[in-house]
Amino acid sequence: MINTFRAFGYNLQTAIADIIDNSISAKAGNVWVQYQWEGAESWVTITDDGEGMDKDTLVQAMTPGSKDPQDDRDEHDLGRFGLGLKTASFSQCKTLTVLTQEQNKAMIKRCWDLDFVNESGKWFLLDYLSSEHFSEPLKELESGTTVVWEKLDRLVGNALKTNEAARSVFLEEFERVEQHLGLVFHRYLEKKKLNLWINGQPIAAWDPFMKESEGSRIVARESLDNDQVQVKCYVLSHISKLSPDDRQQARTDQWHDLQGFYIYRNSRLLLYGDWLDLFKKNEHFKNARILIDIPNRLDHDWQIDIKKATATPSVAVRKDLVRLAKATRKEAGKIHRFRGNQIMLDDSVKSFSFQSVWKARKTRDDARHYYVNQEHPLIQRLLEKDHIPKAEFRQALKLIGDATPVESIIQYHSEEPESHELRDVAAEPDKATIELAVMMYKSLRAQGTAHDLAAKQVFNIQPFDQFPQLIEYFK
């Protein structure tokens, strides 16, 4: 049973978040996460200023399966199975100690030591605390609870305190914890219902919908399942509208992974960045995020698991979620379609008097090719000259670089990936490719580069690397 408790699939972030759920259920206004690197003696504590527990409640809380998931619960209760404290803790440590005190009552404690349970073969719940310093935070509060994790075998194993590599991994894990808690509890933090601290530093809320950002908007909102489920569909602003600082804050490097549904239960984020097997993630729709609010009475219908990390939409709302997601993804796609200027890029469209620098065409086998448009006024003017001044050439290069249709290429690839994958390299180089390769070769030779080295440098450049027969022209 112990090994079963340790194998529920928690990571450090989800385990600590599960403990904080208990603090919220205990009406805590503040939660302090503390951690200390001491090699194999490292520890973690989570302290809250909630109501605390009496002895019977503490023993029940430490008892595996102490609650029936079918029992009625307070609408603000974030638990369900009566297993979270134990499974979350045992997934990370072998010694779990809980200290608690109610207002005007003495502090009490209980401890599970899994090594002791294994050695004795009995479920002895101990009245034990390894060090009095773990009780200090509670002494400063009128009421509250401290959860202590020791013997962090899953996180640090038997690492020595001097092991810098293990220490670095330990600290990186807690950086992820900080980010995770700022996201999972962001609505509590934004509404000042909860303050979170990690080693004395406040954890800031991170809003995945960027409601304060210019351009982010709600494109649809509906109530489903007899008004039990609330849905808001967001489309985020294009990345170009964000300042460099805002981009870092928005985690734009993760946008592809963050698209999808965000399921909340009682304002607590359960699952995020997931299309729930209804759609696949697509670069074209990375600005689409859909907020879903469900009450805890629908846990069974939505198949919420013990660690609150997976969910399955109920049959009652599945079709509506598909409909809303399609509409939201379509709106998100328009951002990149507009930015990409695809219509003017398409060389089959002749209705525009304005000439774009780049063009795209489809071949008979539906492969897509991109090329610089020689009918663009600046390119056309340069082609008509026998001698091109350096300033004008630099201007042309800057224009070609700045106008590279990155968004359109991404969109084309998202919508029709086969249009790029089907492109075959020609068996023989065309006249222009040969002339350019020879010009580059002669330029290198004129600079004193030996024949073999000059040829090698040319063949290191695309598309010349596809045509080894060009060596015949290097004389």
**Which residues have C-beta within 8 Å of that of residue 81, sequence separation ≥ 6?**
65, 67, 69, 306
Cα 39 from chain centre:
29
What type of residue is 103? Q
> Which pLDDT tens digit goes with each residue over 417-434?
666 655 555 678 888 889
The answer for residues whose C-beta is within 8 angstroms of residue 385's C-beta and 6 or more apart is none
**In 10 A of CB 407, how many CB atoms?**
22
What pLDDT sits at residue 475? 81
pLDDT tens column, 244-267: 878 888 888 888 899 999 999 999
The model's pLDDT over 23-52, given as tens digits with 9 standing for 90+, comes to: 999 999 999 999 999 999 999 999 999 999
Question: CB–CB of 166/39 below 8 Å?
Answer: yes
Q: Rounded to whole angstroms, how far apart are CA atoms 173 and 192?
A: 26
Give me the pLDDT at residue 80, please: 44
Each residue's pLDDT tens digit, 324-357: 999 999 999 887 665 545 555 666 655 555 677 8
Question: What is the per-residue DSSP string for 321-349?
Answer: HHHHHHHHHHHHHHHHHHHHTHHHHBTT-
Q: Report yes or no: 50 and 26 within 8 Å, Cβ to Cβ.
A: yes
Say what the pLDDT of residue 81 is: 41
Residues lower than pLDDT 70 in the chain: 65-83, 307-309, 336-354, 365, 411, 414-426
Percent of the chain with pLDDT over 90: 51
